[in-house]
Structure 1
Amino acid sequence: MTIVLLIGNSSIYIILILSMTETGAVKPVYINLVLHNTL
């Protein structure tokens, strides 16, 4: 679901999340993206 929403906004966010998935910092990054997108 999160990926679909990000695809609607821009593909750059997907690349960031995929790159951050390995480090395990997906949640903080996703929260920040949602805040920036909604605001």
Structure 2
Amino acid sequence: MVTGIFLRSYLRTAIALRSNTFNLNFNQKIKLYAILKNKF
């Protein structure tokens, strides 16, 4: 359940970042990966 909420909020962030540079989007993905790796 927590994972679903987290993924939904990430999707919103990804959509918002779509208008920004690739660099910001890439950094966001690295942060997400680090968080998921630490949780699981």
TM range (shorter): 0.3 to 0.5
TM-score, normalisation: structure 2: 0.43
TM-score, structure 1 normalization: 0.43
Larger of the two Rg values belongs to structure: 2
* More relative contact order, 1 or 2 (CA 8 Å, 6+ apart): 1
